Amino acid sequence: MVTYLGNAFSLQMLEGDAVLGVRRISVEEARRMLGNGFTPVMGHENTARAASRVLGVEAKLNRVSLKLRRGDVLIVFQLITNRAPTRELSDEEVNELIANGQYTIYAVTIEQ
């Protein structure tokens, strides 16, 4: 079992048929789940910095093609914004989103 911290989930991360568990989690639960170690798979630098600040961990930029296996957990940290997907957020914009609680955290578990 591997725990990952990323900013998105895609069906392309699965190797085939799978049973998933997806649930929204609190900051405290995410910190607990990441506390035993994790692999960062963040695709955006500013989102990685935001996750680091909110979760108190080092979430590095690490764009990889991830394949999840049975027992793996992907913690998904997402900023809630209406920005154009082609534009990176400024540090000021990220700080404002965090201050306003405009983020979500989900745990995606590969159960079978």
What does the angle CA 100 – CA 40 – CA 55 come to, to the nearest 5 degrees? 30
Query: What's the pLDDT score for residue 83?
Result: 67
* CATH classification at residue 51: 3.40.50.11170
Containing domain of residue 22, as a range? 3-110
Query: What's the pLDDT score for residue 86?
Result: 63
First CA to last CA distance, the chain: 12
Instruction: Report pTM.
Output: 0.90
pLDDT < 70: residue spans in the chain: 83-86
Total structural domains within the chain:
1
